[in-house]
Structure formats: C-alpha cells, structure tokens
Structure 1
Amino acid sequence: MGTNDFVTLFFLVAAVLIFLQLRSVLGRRTGNEKPPYEPYNARDMAKGPGSDPADKVVTISRRNEDGTADEDRYAAVDSFAKPDTEINRSLRAFVDADPAFDPKEFVKGARMAYEMIVMAFAEGDRATLKGLLSREVYEGFDRAIADRESRGETVKSTFVGIDKIDIVQAEVRDAEAMIKLKIVSQMISATYDKSGTMIDGSAEEVAEINDIWTFARDVRSRDPNWKLVATES
C-alpha cells in the first residue's frame, strides 16, 4: 500500500469515529422532536388572528376579589333567595359591596347571636352585650338591666330554640349593610322580686317570642362582625 493510500485510509477511519461520537452525543431523530424554538415567531403566533379585539373568540370571565367569576359570584344568594325577587336583588347588592357575604352563613351567625343576646340580657351580662350591640342599643339594654337591679329583681330564663328566622329586608346605605330579621323563638322565662316571689312569666311554660331585629356592619371595615342596631317586638 502506498503512502497516499495509507493517509486516505487514516482520514476515512477518523471520519467514521468522529461520526459515531457525534451520534452518541446528539442522539438520533425519531420524528417526535419538538421544532426549534423561534422567539419571534412564537410571539407572533401568540398574537395570532385574535390579536385584534374584534377577532377575539374566547372570553375569559373577570375574576372578583374573592376569586369567583361574574357568573357564579351570586350563586350563594340565588340558592338562598329566589332570583328576580326583591330580597334576591338586595342580597346581590350585599355581594357587590362585600364579595365574601353568604346569606346562609349570616343567618347561622344571627341564630347564635340571638341566643347569646337574649340570655346575656336575662343574666345581666353587660360584657357580652357590649360586644354584640351597637352603642345605642346597648345603652337601652343597660338601662333596662339597671332598672331591674334597682328593684332587686332577677330573671331566670331557659332558651328552648328558634322556630323560624327570615330575612325580611336588606339594604346597603353608603357603606353600611343592614339586614332586618323576623325571629320566632321559644323561651321559658320568669322574673322574681327581691324576696324570691315570681312576679312575671312562668318557670315551666314555654312562651313564643316574636322579634324583629336589625343587624348592621360597615363593609369598609376589616371587622367581619355584625352588631344589633335595632329591635322591635
């Protein structure tokens, strides 16, 4: 074999070795590879035919502060009050002012507050009342308790339960949300004078109590608690 043939064979072997090394490093094409990423083309494709607002074919629902979409933000209200009724429209206004408002949860909380308030009043528990009543209502309750105490009278009550509680009115005035409730409850209550003689009520008979109570809260406040702002019998 001549020198030229030897050199040619050497370069041929070297080329084969280099090809095999590149193949092991880069791999083989299988037909499933992703096309090369071209940033400018990708940006243009993202714009696509819908880049003009007039060409949009997919509408993304606007999300509200609580994460709900416009079409389902009133779901809790619609399940509580029949749509297209005055109460439903009023409660929807509450959701507009406070997206976290849920009428079912409100009524549940009102039930608890009602029992706490009537029992605190019977026991003369001013500390509990102060946290649940507006200043004006608290002052009225405080005067009634003080009058009772001045006569040496005591009240013994047993809360039986709430038969019915309905929202009869709801409105948002400026930033104040107000809900009026009709509450029908049952209690056993008796009032005793300072000598221990019962002077009012009954120690055994269950009496039906009908109340109209109004709760309110400032929707701008971070305090989620409602307070009793008015009472009617």
Structure 2
Amino acid sequence: MSGGFPIDLILFGMVAAFLVLRLRSILGRRTGYERPPTPVEPTGAGEEAARTIDTRAEEAVVPQLGGPGPKRGLPDPASPAGQVLARIRQIDPEFDPAGFLMGAEGAFAMIVEAFARGDRQTLQTLLSPEVFRDFEGAITAREQAGERQRTELVALRESSILEVDLRGTVATIGARFVSDQINMTYGADGTVTAGGEAVTETVDVWSFARDLNSADPTWLLVGTRSE
C-alpha cells in the first residue's frame, strides 16, 4: 500500500464541495437559522406582512414539517411560464426551477418564524426594502399593543411555480403555497383575542425577484397575496 492520499477521499471532497455550491446558488445566503421553525403570523394590518418571503440562506436547511412532503408543481415547458423559465436558464445556466421551489418552501417557514420572533435583523436580510417596511410596521404595532401572535405551520401540502416574468435581466417568480396552519392572537393580558386551535388551510402566492446578472444569488421577496 502506497503512502499517497486515498482517491476515494478526494472524490468525496469534490462531491461535497459541488453540493455546497449548488445549494448556495439556489438559496442565496443567510445566517443564524438551523432548526425547524414555530412560525407566528399576525392578523389585521400585519397579516399581509407575515405572508412575505425570500430565499436567502447561509447554510440552507429546509424545515421538516409534519406529514409527507408537499406536492410540487412546475409549469409545462411549452406553457408561457415554462418558456420564460427556459429564458431565465439561458441567462443563468445555474438556475434550477425545481431547486428554486424547494428553497422557497424552506423560506416560507423561515420568514414566518422570523416575523413571529419580531426578528427585524433577519427579516431585513430576507425581504426587499418595501416589504421589510411592511413587516417592521406590523411588528411595531404588535409590540405597542402588547400583543403576541402564534402561528404553527402544521404542514405544507402543495407548492408550485405559478407565475414567471423576465424584464431584461430581472426575473420575478410567483410561488404558490398551500399549508395547514394554527393561528392565534394573544392580548396584553394573555387571553386569546383572535383565532383558535383549529387547523385551517391557507393559500398564499409569494413573488421573488433577482437580477440574473448580479453576483448575489439571493431571490428577494417583493410581493405577496392570499387566495
């Protein structure tokens, strides 16, 4: 047996490095999150703010929710959305629609959890400036009222790429999420003022945007709506 470096370790290292680079190209960068979330969602003025998302992750960890994995849907390649995805890949060959969708699923849970904690620092790195202002305003209103929110993301049932737009090198992708959630609002005295323990189905469409020529791989959340 020679004293050379084992070839299998060299190959393993090459594969590991490739996977790390791939994951970062899909999710972007993020710090400080490495555990499954217990997200919280506001009601009233803050409700729309809680439905905002971005796919920035330093060490991307897709939260493991209860039940089987979500049913995922990608546009038909011949559809208008599918054709725009193909144009995005021409500009950015590293873009992978399936990988984007998986990263968006993790971000869906991560953003809601950050809002629940009132974690402005994390949210500011994940959201566009306009969306962050909405979130920050909702958090401030909640704090001033002495309220506390609880949103438990019980299961993510479905995810799909719904809309795709490309203007110049700026791409925008709308992802649709169907989830089961428990939403409750607690007043300053600790009593429940809205919601309850019942599990309800929630349908959200979150839009992410990125300049494909940018060295930053992050897709920022730029818009939200509920269905």
The question of a shared fold, defined as TM-score above 0.5 by the shorter chain, is answered with yes
Does residue 150 (structure 1) correspond to residue 164 (structure 2)? The answer is no
User: 211, 221, 225: which is aligned to 1:228?
Assistant: 221
Unpaired runs of at least 5, structure 1: 1-78
Does residue 95 (structure 1) correspond to residue 89 (structure 2)? The answer is yes
1:176 shift after superposition: 1.0
Q: Could you tell me which residue of structure 1 aligns to residue 182 of structure 2? A: 188
Retained in 2: the 8 A contact 1:93–1:171? no
Q: Could you say which structure has the larger radius of gyration?
A: 1
Question: Does the residue aligned with 1:87 lie in a helix, a strand or coil?
Answer: helix
Q: Could you tell me which residue of structure 1 aligns to residue 101 of structure 2? A: 107
1:157 shift after superposition: 2.3
Question: Does the residue aligned with 1:91 lie in a helix, a strand or coil?
Answer: helix
Percent identity for Structure 1 against Structure 2 = 42
Alpha-carbon distance in structure 2 between the residues aligned to 1:165 and 1:83: 17
Alpha-carbon distance in structure 1 between the residues aligned to 2:224 and 2:198: 24
Q: Deviations over 1:89-108 (max 9, x none)?
A: 01101101211100000000
Retained in 1: the 8 A contact 2:75–2:161? no
TM-score of the aligned structures, taking structure 1 as reference length: 0.63
1:80 shift after superposition: 4.6
Q: Could you tell me which residue of structure 1 aligns to residue 156 of structure 2? A: 162
Alpha-carbon distance in structure 2 between the residues aligned to 1:125 and 1:200: 22
Question: Does the residue aligned with 1:212 lie in a helix, a strand or coil?
Answer: strand
Q: Could you tell me which residue of structure 1 aligns to residue 204 of structure 2? A: 211
Q: Deviations over 1:42-99 (max 9, x none)?
A: xxxxxxxxxxxxxxxxxxxxxxxxxxxxxxxxxxxxx954332212101101101211
Does residue 176 (structure 1) correspond to residue 167 (structure 2)? The answer is no
Q: Could you tell me which residue of structure 2 aligns to residue 201 of structure 1? A: 195
TM-score of the aligned structures, taking structure 2 as reference length: 0.65
Q: Deviations over 1:108-157 (max 9, x none)?
A: 00001110111211221112211110000000011011111110000122
Does residue 139 (structure 1) correspond to residue 133 (structure 2)? The answer is yes
Larger fraction in helix: 1
Once the two structures are superposed, the pairs formed by residues 116-131 of structure 1 within 5 Å of their partners are 116-131=110-125
**Runs of 4 or more above 4 Å deviation:** none
Q: Could you tell me which residue of structure 1 aligns to residue 43 of structure 2? A: none
Question: Does the residue aligned with 2:221 lie in a helix, a strand or coil?
Answer: strand
Alpha-carbon distance in structure 2 between the residues aligned to 1:206 and 1:200: 14
Aligned CA-pair RMSD: 1.5
